[in-house]
Structure 1
Amino acid sequence: MPILARLLMAAWSLLALPLYAQTEPEKESKTDKGRHVRFLPVGDIPPFRQEIRDGIAYELPPSPGSVPPAKVILGVNDDSRQEADLQLGQITEPLKVPAGAGPLTVRRKGEKEDSVPWLKLDRPEEGDFLVVLWRDPVERTWNATRSVVIAEDPESAPAGTARFINLSPVTVGVVFGGENLALLAGKSFRRKLPLGVDTPFQVGAADPKGGIKRYYSGSFFQNPNERSLAIIYKADGVDPRLPLKTFVMRESVSPPPPKPR
């Protein structure tokens, strides 16, 4: 029996952790003013469209709802608003957020303050965090956007590690570094990575015919002070060749500050 089939049948749910409970980081002061949020929209770029006018081809803008809004305004209160550019597969620049838990609203640029926000979520009480965005798989539009908040401070997402996050609606199998893991929908896990070498991994899931299909095969490579992220998501296209896709990124990260003695 193939490896992916065995691990999916086992369904080792204890290996999957809640998205915002990767570790138990050291508690920081609630007066910390240096925390930040970043946004990462994941999904597929819509097909290229054009029209011919007077014999000249003109590119058409994406159809409404096929991509996230290009510019959004982050507003946490009346005197703190920041602008972010959203592009599929790209993380925004860090945006400042205040200490403590509370609501976080995101509006399309130009919308009135009394309008319904494009996105509204609750920020965690402490630490930096990443908001991963994807379009609603039922309504199939970025006008209905889903999101998940992920801790990414140096304690929760340190250098020398890789995180896997399953945003798809099904359990996936991950073969990684000698482990065979079943990752439930909406769950994640984190593992250490050796430096300076390729660490291969595969992602697969059950297909409609009852077999196992491999949807991704690649590897991580990390230098010192880097971390990696792999996000498994449902493809946006109509009848896509691969209904599940994997977004992989690597980035540098600053070491955590020394703990007080």
Structure 2
Amino acid sequence: MNLPFLHLIALSLYALSCITGLGQEKNGPRELRLLPVGDMPPFRQEIRDGVRYELEPDPGSEPPQMISIPLTKKKSVTVQLALGTFTESLPLPATLQMCRLQKAQGDETELWSQIQLPEQGDCAVILWRDPQKNTWDVVRSMVIPEGPVTFPAGSARLVNTLTANSRWVFAHKTIEVKAGGVVVEKLPAESVPVQVSVRDAEQNWRVVFQSAIGQGDDERSNVILYRADGEEVRNPVKLINLREQVNPEPVGVVTPP
């Protein structure tokens, strides 16, 4: 058997699988994840007849617990929200462009937010409370593309939900993530020191985070800057790092020789 010929066939199949993978990421049914970020409401309690009772959080101090998303006129999907945690991946019709997030309370729903989705591809939506109103009744959002090509294993997705630019100083390079911007950076499978600064009102760089980001070969990291929105805040900016394992390649994908 001609070995160079077999080598050429293997390379051709690998290239075809890559092209197919790209097409699958952009076309057809897709998925959506939601991530609310912010501070937890303070724990409060009162004593009645010698018994301590936990008080309900103030209205608007946390996101709605349940969200309903209409998919068609007759079908919708319901998902639970939790601060600092991605929801499960929700299947969406390929034709859905305007995503309506509705507060779900029993059989009743109330419009909470409308989000314009990209024409194609999976995506994640970062949610945070409006900084002027400072209530979850009015929500801001950022839509971020997802998938094995745009956000592969071994990378960190640096997300800046602030209205100020940010600077990320790694050992090997410095990255500026503009206000409302996203940068996906390849990182080694080890603990990587990083210092994160943001522009303050005087346009000076102020350090808000100084530690390390670590992940495995089969993991990726969502590193998100957001405004501290709790009571008696010491640092106006906070950072959350959510590591996740990337699903392995589907069976049948040809690896290069």
TM tier, smaller = 0.7 to 0.9
1:40 to 2:29 alignment: no
* Residue aligning to 1:171: 165
Deviation of 1:178 after TM superposition, in Å, equals 2.1
* Residue aligning to 2:206: 213
* Residue aligning to 2:115: 121
Q: Conserved in 2, the CA contact under 8 Å of 1:154 and 1:256?
A: no
* Residue aligning to 2:227: 234
Deviation of 1:69 after TM superposition, in Å, equals 0.4
Q: Tell me how large the CA RMSD over aligned residues is.
A: 2.3
1: distance between equivalents of 2:31 and 2:80? 16
Instruction: List per-residue Cα deviations over 1:239-260 (Å, max 9, x = no partner).
Output: 511101111111011255649x
Aligned partner letter, 1:165: V
Structure 2 length as normaliser, TM-score?
Answer: 0.82
1:183 to 2:177 alignment: yes
Aligned partner letter, 1:79: K
Gap change, CA 1:169 and 1:99, over 3 Å in 2: same
Gap change, CA 1:56 and 1:210, over 3 Å in 2: same
* Residue aligning to 1:252: 245
Q: Conserved in 1, the CA contact under 8 Å of 2:25 and 2:122?
A: no
Structure 1 length as normaliser, TM-score?
Answer: 0.81
Deviation of 1:201 after TM superposition, in Å, equals 1.0
1:137 to 2:131 alignment: yes
Q: Conserved in 2, the CA contact under 8 Å of 1:154 and 1:255?
A: no
Greater Cα offset, 222-231 or 60-69: 222-231
1:224 to 2:217 alignment: yes
Question: Across the two proteins, how many residue pairs are aligned to each other?
Answer: 232
Instruction: List per-residue Cα deviations over 1:147-185 (Å, max 9, x = no partner).
Output: 111111111111111010110111122112422222221
2: distance between equivalents of 1:180 and 1:201? 9
Deviation of 1:210 after TM superposition, in Å, equals 6.5
Greater Cα offset, 246-255 or 57-66: 246-255
Aligned partner letter, 2:28: D
Instruction: List per-residue Cα deviations over 1:73-106 (Å, max 9, x = no partner).
Output: 1112123311111110011111110113521111
Unaligned runs of 5+ in 2: 1-20
2: distance between equivalents of 1:210 and 1:30? 39
Please say which structure displays the higher CA radius of gyration.
2
Q: Which structure's relative contact order is higher, taking Cα pairs within 8 Å and 6+ residues apart?
A: 1
| Correspondent of 2:78 among 80, 83, 86 | 83
Aligned partner letter, 2:95: G
Q: Conserved in 2, the CA contact under 8 Å of 1:100 and 1:124?
A: no
Gap change, CA 1:216 and 1:193, over 3 Å in 2: same
Q: Conserved in 1, the CA contact under 8 Å of 2:67 and 2:79?
A: yes
| Correspondent of 2:196 among 198, 203, 214 | 203
Deviation of 1:193 after TM superposition, in Å, equals 1.1
Deviation of 1:237 after TM superposition, in Å, equals 2.1
What are the equivalent positions in structure 2 for 1:101-120 lying under 5 Å apart?
A: 101-110=96-105, 117-120=111-114
Deviation of 1:29 after TM superposition, in Å, equals 8.3
* Residue aligning to 2:9: none
2: distance between equivalents of 1:179 and 1:40? 28
Aligned partner letter, 2:221: S
Greater Cα offset, 162-171 or 116-125: 116-125
* Residue aligning to 1:151: 145
1: distance between equivalents of 2:185 and 2:81? 29
Q: Conserved in 2, the CA contact under 8 Å of 1:227 and 1:253?
A: yes
Instruction: Report the structure, 1 or 2, having the larger helix content.
Output: 2
1: distance between equivalents of 2:171 and 2:70? 42
2: distance between equivalents of 1:217 and 1:31? 40
